[in-house]
Amino acid sequence: MIEILSSILASDLLSVGAEVQRMLDNGVDSLHVDIMDAHFVPNLSFGPAMVSALKKAFPAVHQDVHLMMDNPEKYLDTFISAGAGAVTVHAEVPGDVRAMLAKIRAAGIKAGVSIKPGTGVDTIKELLPLCDLVLVMTVEPGFGGQKFMADMMPKIAALRELGYRGQIMVDGGINADTAAQAVAAGADALVMGTALLRAEDPAAVVRACRALEGRT
């Protein structure tokens, strides 16, 4: 099954609740919440209060929380209790990523690891048994609206070659065309911001992505 996630970063921030409802009405499965600390990436976005506000308004909707921060271990409990359904940490952060993944899983939610474009899959080989999802960044993390990096696709095949059977998520510059490339490479979770929220017909974008089912 392909999971289609709407990134709230591309929403009209004065109307996040309405934007989320609009995306759900257009057929997305779940929400992707980008947390940026201005250190790990050169941008600031949301904090745990966004996750808890979304949880309160949309209790049944899965929230995939992407932590782009230098010290995620200090905030895991906060994001877990705020209502995250999955928490992804970056492989590049200092600290014990293995322990972070174990802690996330122990809380009964999905644990993910993400790799920036410059990070190879070999770096996370040992972590794979602890992961429910691997997030392959297809842009440099930090901003929405960037161009998809097609040269990241071999990482997806490499993860499967390593025997990894969990979810592979792509994030950055995903639209119906680039989603097709990612799914053909073996991805099964698509994060979409700009291409979905700014689309004239978001339902058509979702339908085009759903039609990729089985093309891996």
Q: Are 100 and 89 in contact (CB under 8 A)?
A: yes
Cβ-based nearer residue to Zn ion, 35 or 153: 35
| Residue number with the smallest Cβ distance to ligand DX5 | 193
Catalytic residue among 29, 64, 171, 188: 171
* Binds 127: which of Zn ion, ligand DX5, none (CB < 5-8 Å by kind): none
Cβ-based nearer residue to ligand DX5, 64 or 131: 64
Cβ-based nearer residue to ligand DX5, 139 or 176: 139
Among positive and negative, which fits the CA dihedral 53, 57, 59, 61?
A: negative
* Binds 9: which of ligand DX5, Zn ion, none (CB < 5-8 Å by kind): ligand DX5
Residues of this chain, 144-183, that bind Zn ion according to CB under 5 A: 171
Name the residues that contact ligand DX5, by CB under 6 A. Answer: 7, 9-10, 32, 34, 66, 139, 141-146, 171-174, 191-195
Q: What is the separation of C-alpha 167 from the centre of its chain, rounded to a whole number of angstroms?
A: 11
* Binds 146: which of Zn ion, ligand DX5, none (CB < 5-8 Å by kind): ligand DX5
Cβ-based nearer residue to Zn ion, 2 or 191: 191
Residues of this chain, 33-72, that bind Zn ion according to CB under 5 A: 34, 66
Q: What gap in Å lies between CA 194 and CA 175, rounded to an integer?
A: 8
Q: How many CA atoms lie within 13 A of 199 on its CB side?
A: 20
Q: How many CA atoms lie within 13 A of 165 on its CB side?
A: 1
Q: What gap in Å lies between CA 64 and CA 109, rounded to an integer?
A: 10
* Binds 155: which of Zn ion, ligand DX5, none (CB < 5-8 Å by kind): none
Cβ-based nearer residue to ligand DX5, 82 or 189: 189
Stretch that binds Zn ion, among 15-23, 31-39, 72-80, 155-163 (CB under 5 A): 31-39
Smallest gap from Cβ 148 to ligand DX5, in A, equals 8
Task: Please return the burial class of 129, using the count of CB atoms within 10 Å of its CB with bins 0-12, 13-18 and 19+.
Answer: exposed
Alpha helices in 58-165 (DSSP H): 76-82, 97-106, 153-161
Q: 171 an active-site residue? A: yes
Task: Please return the burial class of 169, using the count of CB atoms within 10 Å of its CB with bins 0-12, 13-18 and 19+.
Answer: buried
Identify the CA nearest to 103 among candidates 141, 139, 67, 138: 67
Catalytic residue among 29, 34, 64, 188: 34
Binding residues (CB under 5 A) for Zn ion: these are 34, 66, 171
Catalytic residues: 34, 171
